[in-house]
Structure 1
Amino acid sequence: MRLLHTSDWHLGRQFHGLPLLDEQARAMDQLVDLAGEAAVDLVVIAGDLYDRAIPPADAVRLFTDTLARLRATGAAVVAIAGNHDSHVRVSVYDELLAAQGVTIRGRWQRAAEPVLVQPRDGGAAVAVYPLPYLEPLLDGPELQPAARPARLDHQQAMDCALLPIHADRARRPGCRSVLVAHAFVAGGRTSESERDLSVGNAEAVAVPTFAGFDYVALGHLHGSQELDGPRLAYSGTPLPYSFSEQHHVKSVRLVELDARGNPAVEVVPLEAGRPLRTLEGELEQLLADPRLEEARGAWVRALLTDEQLPLQAMARLRQRFPHAVELRHQPPERASLAASERSQRILQASDPLQRTLAFFADQQGRVPDPEEERLLREALAQAAARRP
């Protein structure tokens, strides 16, 4: 059986306040074309179908149109709710759509009801278990013995949700199995654009938790990566959604399961979306450097190292780089110190004036001139005079 693994579409998402729907539509076109050309038996979408629980109407239209076109290629479609999705809204027509070969599962209680996918070549059916993001289970009382804490953690929730799935698998000896899940698995590489599931790694799920499945199609992390060889993997997003993803190769995974369930994987790059570039240097250098011409068509983040932030810096940047969306001022002295070191230096100042002067120096990358220091002294004096 051949399946296409994709995830984290985040339809309706914006990039620094600018819409991405046109770029997302081009990515969807590539997915549909690939599903048809590769004659896949199944497309799995491992959560975060939308970017928020109540998506905009045009994002919903793009989603439903994409599902219809994927189904028209002859592939079955199995999708799950992610942590950005409304479990109720995305699966409201699950029972009706399932009869048409499209499954959108939002209820974890139905995860042990597999979708049986019959390969085009006539081989044995494959049991696909759609396990949505487990936030409802984390707060629900159904599987919490009295000895457990009031709230399950992600590892406990995953263990509980997999119990009935493994029980169903045991009733299907020799049947190949695929799990579709949305979670943070320990060892995965994160990026800035993912919504934290909790503080630190407290909510990570261990890799051995997913033993027994022939393939585990994961969603949540935005970079394409494998965690247990080709068997357990994230497909990543179809587009970059933050500058922390600028070095990702956005892709989907074509997975071929042989008769014994061994997966052979081809990672297929996608070419939709504007590239990302981070430029660093003084403003005049960035505006004049001919080597940066290729960045004109990219989303640009500029790290300016001028000692003082130039006037109208962003407006001037956009004259050369029309898609500049982020500017950070990092003068040499400030850039050389870690944020914690700079904060400590400010807090160690002996009195309010010295702290104010230290804060000014940190923000501007220089000490205040005499006139600026006079104004700061006056402001502090006025603030002190107003105290009761």
Structure 2
Amino acid sequence: MRFLHTSDWHIGRTFHGYSTLEALSGVLDAIPSIVREHHVDAVLVAGDVFDSTTPSGAALEVLTAAIRAIRAAGAVVVLSSGNHDSAARLGFQSEWAAFGGVHVRAVAGAATLQEPVLLTDEHGEVAVYGIPYLEPLLLRGSLPEGTPSTQAGVLEVAMDAVRTDAAARGVRSLVLAHCFAGASLAEAEGLERDITAGGLDIVPTSTFEGVDYAALGHIHGRQTLTDSIRYSGAPLHFTFGEGGKPRGGWLVDVGAGGLERVTWVDLPVPREMTTLRGTLDELLASPAHAPAEQHWVRAVLTDDVRPLDSMRRLQQRFPYCALIEFAPSSPEQHAAAGYAARVSAGRSDTDLVDGFLAFVRRGNGLSDDERDLVTKQLAQLGAES
């Protein structure tokens, strides 16, 4: 039996103010072709189906179209909730959806883990357990006494229930979960906003032992923790930090004896992301940057003085320039001194203005023309007072 492991669709997320619905819809349109080409039996979505607990009507339409196309291609769909999803909204009418081959696991509870999605091949049944996103604080009263109020604690309880049920059924098993598992802070930082008291709530990989495959979500780049515990990452680049990382999913083959192989399959990238560095004039003039003219662009400007109207000017050449950062090439003068120390030595009002501009411009004070203008204006103010 073959599964396609995906996660973190984040339908409805914006990218620096731009909607991603059209781009994501185009990427999800490629999944039915993968289902047909690779004879996929079930498509798995391991959490964060939506980016918001209150998805828009347009976001609901994107999900509906994607699921309809996947089902038409012949695959069952199994979705579990993530921390961005509303369990109630995602799980609404899930009982009826299951009759159409769309299985949603969003509501936490023993019944969820004791009623896996059962699929059958020539070797018997395969049980797919979708663990909804488990918020430790909300589940505190229903956990066994002594369970730590952490993701690791609640997921260990959930996995104990999964292992017990799978053993009783005598079936091969897969589990979907949404968490930071075995991920370092550097890997997780900037990719998600699930921060707990004391830092990120890390789940050990040992939590997922005892099943044939763990399809994880929450981290937006693909990762292999073990042969049988993996992240697929998001289908779309949602930040410049993710640019260049592959987008796709894992094809998971389960044979008579359990997991047999896992291979990667790419999804299309609708628009590449590029970071350009240089002065504004260099970025606007250099022919070397021509390939980036239709990319999403982050421009790191190295001008010593911030250029005026830089975004508008950049977008004349790079229509999809979405972010500007400033990193002047010249070192800041008197780096050890604070602003008050820099201006305290001023012997005139003009010198004070010069000191202020040297601070905000990273060492570049008044130009000759500016000094002349400031001197004249200060003299005029002095005459009027």
TM category (shorter chain) comes to 0.7 to 0.9
Deviation at 1:186, TM superposition (A): 2.0
> Which of 217, 220, 226 is residue 218 of structure 2 equivalent to?
220
For residues 351 and 294 of structure 1, the distance between their equivalents in structure 2, rounded to whole angstroms, comes to: 44
Instruction: Determine if contact 2:232/2:249 at 8 Å carries over to the other structure.
Output: yes
For residues 199 and 331 of structure 1, the distance between their equivalents in structure 2, rounded to whole angstroms, comes to: 36
Number of the residue aligned with 2:380: none
Deviation at 1:33, TM superposition (A): 1.2
Instruction: Determine if contact 2:44/2:77 at 8 Å carries over to the other structure.
Output: yes
Calculate the TM-score normalised by the size of structure 1: 0.86
Number of the residue aligned with 2:139: 140
For residues 87 and 14 of structure 2, the distance between their equivalents in structure 1, rounded to whole angstroms, comes to: 22
Number of the residue aligned with 1:5: 5
Pairing 1:252–2:249 present: yes
* Aligned-partner residue type, residue 48 of structure 2: D
Percent identity (aligned): 36
Number of the residue aligned with 2:118: 116
* Aligned-partner residue type, residue 177 of structure 1: S
Calculate the TM-score normalised by the size of structure 2: 0.86
Unpaired runs of 5+ residues, structure 2, are 346-351, 375-385
In structure 2, do the counterparts of structure 1 residues 287 and 350 end up closer, same or farther at CA, with 3 Å as the change threshold? closer
In structure 2, do the counterparts of structure 1 residues 357 and 111 end up closer, same or farther at CA, with 3 Å as the change threshold? farther
For residues 104 and 4 of structure 1, the distance between their equivalents in structure 2, rounded to whole angstroms, comes to: 16
Number of the residue aligned with 1:210: 208
For residues 217 and 139 of structure 2, the distance between their equivalents in structure 1, rounded to whole angstroms, comes to: 22
Pairing 1:87–2:87 present: yes
Number of the residue aligned with 2:349: none
* Aligned-partner residue type, residue 263 of structure 2: E
In structure 2, do the counterparts of structure 1 residues 148 and 227 end up closer, same or farther at CA, with 3 Å as the change threshold? closer
Instruction: Determine if contact 1:108/1:161 at 8 Å carries over to the other structure.
Output: no
Pairing 1:178–2:174 present: yes
Q: Deviations over 1:315-367 (max 9, x none)?
A: 11111111111111110245x89xxx97xx46596598589988854542224
* Aligned-partner residue type, residue 115 of structure 1: V
* Aligned-partner residue type, residue 226 of structure 2: D
For residues 255 and 206 of structure 1, the distance between their equivalents in structure 2, rounded to whole angstroms, comes to: 22
In structure 2, do the counterparts of structure 1 residues 76 and 319 end up closer, same or farther at CA, with 3 Å as the change threshold? same
* Aligned-partner residue type, residue 50 of structure 2: Y
> What are the equivalent positions in structure 2 for 1:88-103 lying under 5 Å apart?
88-103=88-103
Number of the residue aligned with 1:326: 323
Number of the residue aligned with 1:59: 59
Number of the residue aligned with 1:125: 125
For residues 85 and 165 of structure 1, the distance between their equivalents in structure 2, rounded to whole angstroms, comes to: 22
Instruction: Determine if contact 1:191/1:221 at 8 Å carries over to the other structure.
Output: no
Once the two structures are overlaid, the 10-residue window that deviates more, 138-147 or 177-186, is 138-147
> What are the equivalent positions in structure 2 for 1:275-290 lying under 5 Å apart?
275-290=272-287
The 3-state SS of whatever aligns with 1:308 is coil
Q: Deviations over 1:102-139 (max 9, x none)?
A: 111111211332111123xx33110110001112x432
The 3-state SS of whatever aligns with 1:4 is strand
Number of the residue aligned with 2:183: 187
For residues 309 and 348 of structure 1, the distance between their equivalents in structure 2, rounded to whole angstroms, comes to: 19
> Which of 306, 312, 319 is residue 309 of structure 1 equivalent to?
306
Q: Deviations over 1:66-115 (max 9, x none)?
A: 11221122211110011110011001111111122111111121133211
* Aligned-partner residue type, residue 33 of structure 2: D
For residues 41 and 265 of structure 2, the distance between their equivalents in structure 1, rounded to whole angstroms, comes to: 17
For residues 305 and 342 of structure 2, the distance between their equivalents in structure 1, rounded to whole angstroms, comes to: 26
The 3-state SS of whatever aligns with 1:319 is helix
The 3-state SS of whatever aligns with 1:34 is helix
Deviation at 1:297, TM superposition (A): 0.6
Q: Between Structure 1 and Structure 2, how many residues are aligned?
A: 364
Pairing 1:30–2:30 present: yes
For residues 321 and 27 of structure 1, the distance between their equivalents in structure 2, rounded to whole angstroms, comes to: 23
In structure 2, do the counterparts of structure 1 residues 133 and 357 end up closer, same or farther at CA, with 3 Å as the change threshold? farther
For residues 358 and 75 of structure 1, the distance between their equivalents in structure 2, rounded to whole angstroms, comes to: 67
For residues 169 and 315 of structure 1, the distance between their equivalents in structure 2, rounded to whole angstroms, comes to: 59
In structure 2, do the counterparts of structure 1 residues 346 and 23 end up closer, same or farther at CA, with 3 Å as the change threshold? farther
Number of the residue aligned with 1:268: 265
Instruction: Determine if contact 1:6/1:237 at 8 Å carries over to the other structure.
Output: yes
For residues 144 and 214 of structure 2, the distance between their equivalents in structure 1, rounded to whole angstroms, comes to: 28
> Which of 153, 170, 190 is residue 156 of structure 1 equivalent to?
153
The 3-state SS of whatever aligns with 1:240 is coil
Number of the residue aligned with 1:46: 46
* Aligned-partner residue type, residue 219 of structure 1: G
In structure 2, do the counterparts of structure 1 residues 113 and 143 end up closer, same or farther at CA, with 3 Å as the change threshold? same
Instruction: Determine if contact 1:143/1:160 at 8 Å carries over to the other structure.
Output: no
Deviation at 1:293, TM superposition (A): 0.4
For residues 322 and 5 of structure 1, the distance between their equivalents in structure 2, rounded to whole angstroms, comes to: 34
* Aligned-partner residue type, residue 214 of structure 1: D
In structure 2, do the counterparts of structure 1 residues 130 and 148 end up closer, same or farther at CA, with 3 Å as the change threshold? closer
Deviation at 1:46, TM superposition (A): 0.5
For residues 131 and 355 of structure 2, the distance between their equivalents in structure 1, rounded to whole angstroms, comes to: 53
Once the two structures are overlaid, the 10-residue window that deviates more, 321-330 or 139-148, is 139-148
